[in-house]
Amino acid sequence: MRELSRRQAIIGLGAFTLVLAGCGEDEAPKQAAQSANKAGAMANYGVNQQFKATEPLSFDVLYNNHPFYPLKNDWLFWEELTKRTNVTFKPVAVPLSDYEKKRSLMIGAGDAPLIIPKTYHPQEEAFVASGAVLPVSEYFDLMPNFKDKVAKWKMEPELDTLRQADGRIYLLPGLHENVWVDYTLAVRMDILEELDLEVPTTWDELYTVLKAMKAKYPDLYPMTDRFGIPTPGGNLLKLVAQAYGAKGGWEYQHAFWDATAGKFVYTGAMPQYKQMIEYLHKLVKEKLLDPEAFTQQDEQADQKLISGKSFVISCNAQTLVNEFRGALTKANPDAKIAKIPVPMGPVGDHKIGTRLENGVMISKKALENKNFVAMMQFVDWLWYSDQGLEFAKWGVEGTTHTKDASGGYKLADDVDFVGLNPDASKHLQKDFGFSNGVFAYGGPTKLLESTFSEEELEFQKVMNARKAWPVDPPHPLKEEEREQATLWETPLKDFVTQQTLKFILGERDLSEWDAYVKELEGNNMASYINLVNTAYERFKKEHG
């Protein structure tokens, strides 16, 4: 639907060249710091070479403590990491539920660890003006694996979206070889069979399926949903908006690139955004979609599915296996549930997503550390080398997994992960610390899919056949512009979220759409979009 112009491609390549080259005015102090802070660093560290510090080192790392696999000090991950790299991690653990708030407080107080993972763009922007985190693009030359994957996978346009107005990047993102789609809808396949229905491939077909389910089971809502907190309808709005060519739910951004017009427009006022609302409103109005779907706790949604009160719900691969399948079949042995390929809409067979993942910020204090160069090499090895990515995901060959002659992975018989060995006595995450979301993400598609079941591989085969949506052009804001934008964004986002829900639930009539758009204008919508387009034009002029 949208195509990158040759000019945009040239802009992206030029900007990335600028990033890799570094900013000239800071080149001397940067080189001086690298020269002075080389203790423990390898002299000839390169692509896919095992990093091993020349002396024992330790680095503190902010650790997002996941309740499904809470931190254990005796994990094999820690022991083997030190054995391979001569580096010991000192995790500063923060509960997942409090991670973002605690991270901000620690950075603001100057108490943050040197390595700050699990940061999603644009969260790093809050720390740019204060200089609390390093402009990591100035140090890409210390990270050969990162540079290699960016070049090999042609990821310059994606990296450009992380650039700030000063031409630098402040977040080391996880890199995926291809766009990876995981979140979709799970559907009770036994109900489809009972009603002689095909798996829906479009949102219109899903409507027809839900109508048939409602006709057979009039006292039920055929579809409910989870993932509604803190973003109402987070996944569902995202998926439906994508089908119409907009962004909603988890993916909502104020500015949407209109390739035809050659400018950014305000997402919440787009006709395509309205189409998303109209579709979901129709489902709610006809009692095909549970009105509580957008704001209920996940546990409530899951229970409705498991007890047979609903047949369709949002999910990803792990939710399907860990939350739904076992509990559902225990409650109803005849029940069968599966992920379906994301339904399509007017934009056709596109898969929409990014090849960038959450990433790592580096505290400004790191530059003063005598082991700075070694630390950057270590970060490069763990998060970006093929060996580091494999280690973080699969663990130790012969203990947690084996490999066959073709390089295929197989979990050890006594180790489970995502239901691959459901009767095993140990768990890859809980008992060993591998496949940990703080350290294991991104990488080659073959590695990504190495833990997928045959069922999931079939899902990915369908999704990977779809065309990837082009990357938006960069529009980095200057510091004062970002401060102004932040003041506008919060009330705009709150208003869009509230009114979207009211329209969908029928608490506000869709005949008031034009009045809603005028209310957006009263919340500085036009000024905000003008700011974004000014930044886009400036970038294009300076780097095009």
pLDDT in tens, 24-73: 445 655 665 566 789 999 999 999 999 999 999 999 999 999 999 999 99
Q: Mean per-residue pLDDT for 358-369?
A: 96
Quick check: is 253 in a domain?
no
Do residue 189 and residue 333 come from a single domain? yes
- Whether 128 and 51 share a structural domain: yes
Q: What are phi and psi of 225, to 5 degrees?
A: -155, 155
C-alpha to C-alpha distances, 179 to 1, 28, 319, 346, 445, nearest whole angstrom: 17, 38, 20, 20, 9
Calculate mean pLDDT across residues 181-192.
97
Residues 281 and 380 in one domain: no
Residue 12 inside a domain? The answer is: no
What is the number of residues in the chain?
544
In tens, the pLDDT along 278-297 reads 999 999 999 999 999 999 99
Are 364 and 436 part of one and the same domain? yes
201 and 296 co-located in one domain: yes
pLDDT of the residue at 44: 93
Backbone dihedral angles phi then psi of residue 403, each to the nearest 5 degrees:
-130, 140
Q: Domain check: are 339 and 228 in the same one?
A: yes
What pTM did the predictor assign?
A: 0.82
* Angstrom distances, CA of residue 330 to CA of 186, 306, 315, 325: 17, 9, 19, 8
Give the tens place of pLDDT for each residue, 393-415. Answer: 999 999 999 999 888 999 999 99
The pLDDT of 133-161, averaged and rounded, is 96
Strand arrangement, sheet containing 57-65: 87-95, 57-65, 115-119, 356-362, 172-175
292 lies in some domain: yes
Q: Which residues of 252-278 are buried (b: 16+ CB within 10 A; e: fewer)?
A: bbbbbbeeeeeebbbbbbbebbbbbbe
Q: What CATH number does residue 395 fall under? A: 3.40.190.10
d(CA 128, CA 121): 12
Nearest to 215 by CA among 279, 314, 311: 311
Going by C-alpha positions, the residue among 31, 51, 30 that lies closest to residue 41 is: 51
Tell me what pLDDT residue 24 has: 45
- Domain boundary, last residue among 351, 368, 401: 351
The verdict on 200 and 240 lying in the same domain is: yes
Residues 391 and 527 in one domain: no
Both tokens assigned to 224: 């409910």
Specify the amino acid at residue 316: N
If you average pLDDT over each of 18-27, 228-237, 349-358, 505-514, which comes out highest? 505-514
Residue 413 lies in a domain: yes
Q: Is residue 15 part of a domain?
A: no
> Considering the domain boundaries, does residue 117 fall inside one?
yes
Q: Both 288 and 418 in a single domain? A: no
Co-location of 93 and 110 in the same domain: yes
Residue linked to tokens 């990821």: 155
Total number of domains constituting the chain? 3
Q: Of the residues 293, 324, 351, which one is the last residue of a structural domain?
A: 351
202 and 283 belong to one structural domain? yes
| Any domain includes 9 | no
Average pLDDT, the chain: 92
At residue 347 the predicted structure's pLDDT band, cuts being 50, 70 and 90, is: very high
Range of the domain at 237: 184-245+266-351
Annotate 237-269 with DSSP letters as a single string.
HHHHHHHHT---GGG--SEEEETTTTEEEEGGG
Tokens of 243: 């089908």
Out of 420, 444, 468, pick the residue that ends a domain.
468
Q: Which of 177, 212, 157 has the alpha carbon at shortest distance from 11?
A: 157
Asked if the structure places residue 94 within a domain, the reply is: yes
431 neighbors 64 (Cβ within 8 angstroms):
no
316 with 373, same domain? no
